[in-house]
Amino acid sequence: MTGPFHAVRALGPRLSLADHGLTLGTSTARGVCIRFHHAVPGLDPFGLLRHPALTVTVDEPDLVARAINEIAR
């Protein structure tokens, strides 16, 4: 669980310069950070830049986080 976010840093597709994580945000409220075992392509159309995590803002972040954790077990 992450957030709340500042609008400038949360809305739309964003790349974190700190860890190259990707954010797809539609809300400044809370979000869910999904970490991958292997980095995945995202913003770069050639797939050269890979992202170790994806943060998404959703209506029910607690429910989404629980569902992802159940699947990942």
Express the helix, strand and coil content of the chain in percent, nearest 5 each. Answer: 20, 40, 40
Q: Which residue has tokens 């980095």?
A: 39
Entry pTM: 0.84
Domain range summary for the chain, segments of one domain joined by +: 7-72
Model confidence pLDDT, tens digit, residues 19-70: 899 999 998 999 999 999 999 999 888 989 999 999 999 999 999 999 999 9
One-letter amino acid at 67 equals A
- Cα dihedral 33, 12, 15, 48 sign: positive
* 8 A C-beta contact, residue 42 and residue 19: no
- C-alpha closest to that of 20 among 37, 40, 4: 40
